[in-house]
Chain A
Amino acid sequence: MLKKEKSPPEIAENAPVTVAALEAVFEGCYDFESRDLHIGGDPSNKARLCFLDGLVSGSDVAEQVIRPLTDPERFAGVRGSQAIARLLGGSVYVYTAKCRETLGDLASDLLNGFCALIFDAERRAVTFEVKSPQRRGVDAPKEEKVVKGAKDAFVETMKINTTLVRRKLRNPHLKIKEFPLGQRARTSATLVYIDGFTNPELVAEASRRLEKIEVEGALTSAVIEENIVDRHRSPFPQVISTERTDKFCMNLLEGRVGMLVDGLPLGFLVPGTFSQFMKVPEDHSGHFIVASALTLLRYLSVALTLLAPAFYVAVAMYHQEMIPTRLLQSMIEAHASVPFPTAVEVVLMLLAFELLQEAGIRLPSPIGETVSIIGALIVGQSAVEASVVSPVVVVVVALAGIAGYTMPNIDMGSALRLCRFLLVLAAIFLGMFGVAMGCALIVYHLSSLESFGVPYMSPFAGSEGRHQSRALLRKSMTVKRDREPELKTGDGGEAKL
């Protein structure tokens, strides 16, 4: 977080609106366009049109602003404040028109895709929203695969995102409050909640935390995530982030508060608890028994990804009595030609796995796929054949890796990967005792986390023993379910979700 700086001296936020002042603000900017317009076709009656090329739609400016403004029948003899009044009254065919009296607001409008008509004498300007249609279209989510559900994902444009949300929640009580973020970038962020339903204390706290953010610009998700969470040092995610609009809206309907940031194709939701990161919207698309089984599988995957390598290391190094006789015999035989001790093997394999993963993410698609295949072949097959590692280690590490990929949330998966390494180290130096103490510490850390006042391990902890099955199983849609009591929603009762 940056220290609060004073405004740059060259932009006086509250300075009066003049063409010269605006031109001074955007001096040197090649995309700043400025031209005089003759109102009503009268050369003696001028106003200055300014805009940032690229942010505005040229055709809209021409058709909707310039054409009616220069029409003698509409604006003949109309000057100054009268002209401003007519412009604001709808004589120009643009659905958003604002009157600006300060330089800061005027500059902000231009940066948000508005064009401005400046009346120097009046020290006022009228700005019209004529945003360029050049933006990424709504597409299917890339990071969160959709099997059976809506395939519209958030995009970088705030207005489109809010539109997508409004289309799903046609509720007049759905509030979208704007917050500017970033002293230099002036990114627009919004708080989304259902008034009268979402806990007002939660809304107030979320607003307060958003307002407290002091950064240069909100261009990455970490700006939001790390600044609004209770414990930013924890690697475990405490804010739900999603590309999917259906997931976003479902969580709003459960009583969470959402956030959208202009420029980020993500929606953020708070509070985020561990059980939430185990859920996917597909759970509500498929049969409830199948969905419940898959949820349980995910929890099993958490255990596998965390514990499989550590368990193997502890057992192979210190507790060989646990291995069945035949398996132990084949392990002894397989290990006979491997030069490295078990600990080194496992750590090497885990590192190799992480390297492969990172390479696969960074490289462009075609190359990335090839590298992944080659890496798998080299690491998997060749390493075993060259007796660099034993086959059991490859199986264990691969199993742990695949189990980690079943995590619906990538941040949760990353946190678990980190913990996996730590548990392996604990197993190397302390055996099963180390694994147990490591697990206890991880559980303690998770139990100590809170997300906006809600225990992170809810409903497994801090819920008075109630509603635990809700985290693991999904009831049929025909059965009324209680809302999460920790969210303290306005109706507070049963609801069909």
Chain B
Amino acid sequence: MKKTLVLTLALTLALTGCSKGLTIFSNYRRIENIELVRAFTADTQGDGVLVSIYGTAGEQNDARMVEKSGPSLGTAMGELLMMPLGREAILSHTENLLIGEDMARQRLNECLDYVERYSETRLDIGLLIVRGSTARDLLKGLSGSDPSAADVIAGLANHIARVGEGAVFTCREVAVSLLENGVALIQCVRGVEEEKLFDARGDLNLEPDGFAVVTEDGQTLEFLTGEETLGCLLLLSRLEAKDLDLAVGDTVATVSVEELKTAWEPVFDGDGALTKIKVRVTAGAKLVSLRGVADVTKKSWREAAERALSETLRAAAQAAVARSQTLGLDFLDLHGITARKHPMKLEAMGRDWSDIFPTLPVEVEVEGALRRTFDIMDSPEIAEKEEMTPWEKLTESLKDN
């Protein structure tokens, strides 16, 4: 009986609003009043921040963009989330955060801190920098589009990775990289022509624009070229697939790089000094298309193609390493790699990594392999040869290979 009374009292106290602190109704949201924010943007505006959110409430044609400015991201967002007509935007389903170039340069840590600190936001929100324009303009231009702006941005993020033009790092990855290495990479996008995000017809005119390199103190914001970006993807093992045009003799072969393995080997001399870092990249590719005349079944041709592939990838990787060393920013985490492989030796060296790194030789070796093609076939010229018997064809092909 007593237990029943106690429990009833417990429930009653929870039920009644007799004391404000004794209910959790302040966390209650009516589901029909919710606006899902699947993407939001942040740009600098004077000394403050302009935040735009793209919220959907069911049907896509109910989607809308709302923006607010404030002295900080937190204040602007706080006002923005409490939308008019009793609606409330929630950030728990946000997939991407787009920030303008100025915002990245000046207030990146504020963005990351907000995402880390706010209880609703997930750390795996993708981070993108919009170059040549403001992130807000991108969102505004996409508003009212079909599919929705959020889907377009999510699709863009997927597309970038799938075509090997870059990789969208999440806020967690950027935050961890900044904390551990003092530097991070962030994917950039830019308008194709004259910095315009949309063409005359209003269609999205965006392309991936490589990586931006940012530092923890916010002082540095550098941008990598396409080749350097490819090199980063190779060395960070983030390349999903990449189509490359290779000049092989008189032909141009388009190959798709799909399989990638990267092996690092720091080399120490007898005195325990780090002399160089060797990296061996094994790349498997398949032949997608061929322009010109070539017998792809011939070993010599394939070897030439593989040499071209290896050289292209090696150049990209070397370019990424060179840029990293020029900037003095270890965004490839060579320090971490060396520390994991030879922690004792590195510690025994006793030298600061920032002294070693800029001049440390890094040898990149790439072994490209053309593993398959969609179909093995002779070029039209070979098919015009005079008729051979099957035995003759076989012996001829064996001779060639």
Q: Do A and B come from one complex?
A: yes
Beta-carbon contact of B36 and A328 below 8 Å: yes
Beta-carbon contact of B120 and A321 below 8 Å: yes
Q: A316 contacts the other chain (Cβ, under 8 Å)?
A: yes
CA–CA, A333 to B27, complex, Å?
21
The distance from the CB of A311 to the nearest CB of chain B, in whole angstroms, is 15
The distance from the CB of A412 to the nearest CB of chain B, in whole angstroms, is 22
The contact of A332 among B23, B34, B38, by CB within 8 Å, is B34
Residues of B within 8 A of A426 (CB): 11
Beta-carbon contact of B29 and A320 below 8 Å: yes
The contact of A429 among B24, B31, B58, B59, by CB within 8 Å, is B24
Beta-carbon contact of B29 and A333 below 8 Å: no
Beta-carbon contact of A332 and B31 below 8 Å: yes
Beta-carbon contact of A318 and B28 below 8 Å: yes
Residues of B within 8 A of A329 (CB): 36, 56-58
Most B CB atoms within 10 A — which of A328, A329, A441? Answer: A329
Beta-carbon contact of B15 and A429 below 8 Å: yes
Q: B14 contacts the other chain (Cβ, under 8 Å)?
A: yes
Contact segment of A42-50, A134-142, A336-344: A336-344
- Beyond A325-B38, A329-B36, A429-B23, whether A335 also contacts B31 by CB under 8 A is yes
Q: B351 contacts the other chain (Cβ, under 8 Å)?
A: no
Residues of B within 8 A of A334 (CB): 58
Residues of B within 8 A of A441 (CB): 7
CA–CA, A320 to B31, complex, Å?
8
The distance from the CB of A374 to the nearest CB of chain B, in whole angstroms, is 30
Identify which of residues 1-27 in chain B touch chain A, using a CB-to-CB cut-off of 8 Å: 7, 11, 14-15, 23-24, 27
The contact of B57 among A332, A425, A434, by CB within 8 Å, is A332
Q: B379 contacts the other chain (Cβ, under 8 Å)?
A: no
Residue on B nearest A329 in the bound complex, by CB? B58
CA–CA, A317 to B57, complex, Å?
16
Residues of B within 8 A of A316 (CB): 31
- Beyond A325-B36, A329-B58, A330-B58, whether A430 also contacts B31 by CB under 8 A is no
The contact of A321 among B14, B28, B90, by CB within 8 Å, is B90
B interface footprint on A421-447 (CB within 8 Å = 1, 0 otherwise):
000011001110110000001000000
Identify which of residues 294-347 in chain A touch chain B, using a CB-to-CB cut-off of 8 Å: 316-318, 320-321, 325, 328-336, 338, 341-342
Residue on A nearest B29 in the bound complex, by CB? A320
The contact of A320 among B23, B34, B58, by CB within 8 Å, is B34
Residues of A within 8 A of B24 (CB): 318, 429-431, 433
CA–CA, A41 to B7, complex, Å?
78
Q: B92 contacts the other chain (Cβ, under 8 Å)?
A: yes
Identify which of residues 299-319 in chain B touch chain A, using a CB-to-CB cut-off of 8 Å: none
Give me the interface of A with B, judged by CB distance under 8 Å. 316-318, 320-321, 325, 328-336, 338, 341-342, 425-426, 429-431, 433-434, 441
Further pairs besides A317-B29, A332-B34: 10, Cβ < 8 Å: A320-B29, A320-B34, A329-B57, A332-B57, A333-B57, A333-B58, A333-B59, A342-B30, A429-B14, A433-B24
A-B contact pairs, 26 of them (CB 8 A): A317-B28, A317-B29, A320-B29, A320-B34, A320-B92, A325-B93, A328-B34, A328-B93, A329-B57, A332-B31, A332-B32, A332-B34, A332-B58, A333-B59, A333-B62, A334-B58, A335-B32, A336-B32, A341-B30, A426-B11, A429-B14, A429-B15, A430-B14, A431-B24, A433-B24, A434-B14
